[in-house]
Amino acid sequence: MSEQIREACGVFGVYAPGQPVSNLAYLGLYALQHRGQESAGIAVSDGDTITAVKDMGLVSQVFDERSLASLDGHLAIGHVRYSTTGSSTWRNAQPVYRSVGDVGFALGHNGNLVNATALSADLGMLPGVLTSDSELIGEMLARHYGPEPRSDGRDLEHALLQVLPVLEGAFSLVLMDEAHLFGVRDRHGIRPLVLGRTEGGWVLASETSALDIVGAHFVRDVDPGELVAIDANGVRSIRYAEPDPRLCIFEFVYIARPDTILYGQSVHAARQRMGEELARQAPAPADMVMPVPESGVPAAQGFARASGIPYGDGFVKNRYVGRTFIQPSQRERGSGVRVKLNPIRANIKGKRLAVVDDSIVRGTTTRQIMAVLREAGAAEVHLRVSSPPYRWPCFYGLDTGRRSELLAADMSVGEIAEYLQVDSLAYLELDRLVAATGVTSEAFCDACFTGEYPVPVPDHDTKLALEPAEEPRLPGTVELA
């Protein structure tokens, strides 16, 4: 992915009495850092008090040994964020915390609600009072707490069962009160959430790679429409909605780490199969197959294997430069490409290249990369993309902007090839992509490719829907609406 698509947030939860849960949450968030780089936070309970630390920046910038040492307890949740509803500000960093009388709870949210504006209006909230859909969920839960604590201590669980059925869109949640850890997926399971077992306890995480890093073993996916409750008595499963699984297919294409397991399938192996399918569908007259680092690597490996064309590296990636889509302006993103990817001229000059990337969204960064290859002396550039054209915006947790900003929305493949200035261009067909995942097409949301949304979506961008229209944007905030 050589575009500025922002990814889905990452959530993590752990219930493990006697274990250093804040350190485990820190490690889990480190493994999920690719899912969000704007802010990070951890909330911990010692049985009596919930303590939360959150700030803008990467996990390693927000936390150190001193801050982790202050987070003592037996259960914790953590969150890494990029914004889909709500600006990139400290207030919108998570976990969201609410106090209700003498008790409190915290939550972390991965996804995006499509009915946030209506729900906020139902609460009688003026624009700007709640500035993210995650904060909205917290407010709704708080209002469903009774005037007196429940005798069974299941106040948050009771509130969840009242609130979850009215939420529409994508939401994978981790929540906690002083004594319980919860995991939730929407009825379509658009964003992933898994349950793992660790020494003396349980772990919830957006991806199995986060289980690996804390030494937990995978137990199962949290099912669509399921609420998982974890406490001193173990794990309980509550079905709150009829499941209709529609995992985001872009998790397989780009979002998830390659060492993650989705639907029982290795993401890395699936991406290699995508490359193999692409080589069979659209052969390239090339001397070398090269990836656009790093997300294009598995597909390029598969393409080379199936085509018999040697695999080689065309770029050296500066690993100390952030992803290009993190840059706040188009000009900075453009310069970021040159800083981030430097061509290996000896591998490029005079050669016909089959360049493999996983997707193209806006196309501006891809065009710059193709220009760098030309300047380095490539004889021909044949671009192969291991997913279909990205034609429709995501309303379920990816910040792709408006449809008018998507390169393939109104351009043919030939027109895109001309814009990118490549000798040929081919995208992987959707049925071949699905086959490469090893899962049936009915199990996916593929709206970004087809425009067929499993949950009705608004006809406008919703990123700043809960904020007052007159509120000025902060410097460096990209306003899409």
- Which sequence positions are flagged as catalytic? 9
Do 263 and 248 meet the contact criterion of CB atoms below 8 Å apart? Answer: no
Q: Which of 470, 432, 365, 457 is nearest to 113 (CA)?
A: 457
Task: Return d(Cα 310, Cα 243) in angstroms, integer.
Answer: 45
Nearest to 344 by CA among 316, 374, 379: 316
The span from the CA of 137 to the CA of 122, in Å, is 13
CB within 8 A of 52, min separation 6: which ones?
41, 42, 43, 44, 95, 97, 106
β partners of residue 342: 316
CA–CA separation, 113 vs 158, rounded Å?
21
Nearest one of 279, 256, 264 to 432, comparing CA atoms: 279
How far is residue 157 from each of residues 164, 170, 188, 383, 441, measured CA to CA in Å? Answer: 10, 20, 21, 51, 34
Q: Taking a C-beta distance cutoff of 8 angstroms, is the pair 70, 43 a contact?
A: no
Residue 425 in 3-state DSSP? strand
At residue 315, φ and ψ (nearest 5 deg) are -135, 150
Tokens representing 335? 């310069």
- In Å, what is the CA distance from 156 to each residue of 41, 143, 182, 408, 454? 21, 11, 9, 44, 28
Q: How many CB atoms lie within 10 A of CB 28?
A: 33
